[in-house]
Each structure stands twice: as structure tokens, then as C-alpha cells.
Amino acid sequence: MLELVVGSGNAHKIAELRALLPRDRFRLIPLSELETPLDVEETGLTFCENARLKATLQAKHLNRWVLAEDSGLEVDALSGQPGVFSARFAGRHGDDVANNLKLLKEMADFPSGMRGASFRCFVCVSSPQGIARIEVNDVCRGRIGTEPQGEGGFGYDPLFIIPEYHQSFGQLGVTIKNVLSHRSRALRKVVPRLLELVASGEFA
């Protein structure tokens, strides 16, 4: 079983990763299980830069393979906001309720035709030497609802409507979300490349 450190403390993200990566090949290790993880400051201006920082710096510090991702919401009418500040849009990091309330306020005057948005995810896998070996990204398009719908998911999921389903990620459930989401789409690109590294003997 190959061990892969997940450079995140977000339990929801780790659960999604575990559901998507081959469990018979990889054992995912969250930072919470390690004694001396690095507290990486997300100073990047893009999701790509932050994912790379979290993966490469953590990998070199731990001398282990690390997968890290950075993701967030980009709203068309808000010129791509909240973007890299998605988790702290309202000020305090990880306050989902406050972030959703602020987004609803910002979007209050926009009609349904101007509420388009994207969830975007960048994933980076770094070698123990701190070298980015895999970098992928993907996106999920939707629109911002006028009120929270559903209690599933996390972050902006209750506000992010998938037009084809006429429901939010908060309503659709884990199974469907793991097919459609930005994170799942990006990870599906990561898996074959991880297996290539294993086959080459580099990831051992």
C-alpha cells in the first residue's frame, strides 16, 4: 500500500479524496495524523500557486509524497470573486455561514441570467524532494441560488445550483457530487498519472 499525504486539514475534502482515489493502491494520510506538519501560508495569487505551495513545501518538510489542492468559487458577475479568498470571503477562515450570507448579499440585485459561477480546483502532487510532479485542474459550472438549499456538502454547496439537476450541491448528495464536482474531475486526471509514477518505480 502506497502512502500519500494529503496536504489539508479539511475533513470534508479528505473524505472526498478517499472516495475518489483507489483504496487498494493508496493510503491517504491527513496532516492531522502527522506529528510535525508544516503550517503552509497560502500566499499565492491563484489556486495553482497555492496548491503548488502546499504540496511542495509540505513534501520537502516531511520527506514524503504529498497531494495538495486549492479550490474555490468564482462568480462571473463579481469578476471572479471570491476566488482564492473563498474560505475567508467574510473575514474569518472557514465560516461557511458568514461566507454564504455575504455572497447572497453581494448577489442580491443580479437576475437569474447573471448568476453564473464556477467551482475551480487545482491539484498538485509533489515528490519528497519538493518537486511538483503532477499538476492538473478542472472546473464545474453552475449558478448561484437566491437562498441556501440542502444540508449536504460544505462551503458554498447549498448555494451552487447545477442547472441540469435544478438542485444545489447541498441537495444532490455525495454520490452525484463525486461525479460532477470540480475536485472529482481534477482527481480523475490525477489517478492515471499517479499510477504511471508507480509503474515507473518513481513512486515507491
Catalytic residue list:
70
Residue 117 C-alpha cell reads as: 459561477
Q: What are phi and psi of 199, to 5 degrees?
A: -60, -35
Strand partners, 4: 28
Distance CA 1, CA 91 (A): 41
Cis peptide before 148 (omega within 30 of 0): no
Q: What letter does residue 149 receive in the DSSP assignment?
A: -
Q: How many CB atoms lie within 10 A of CB 33?
A: 10
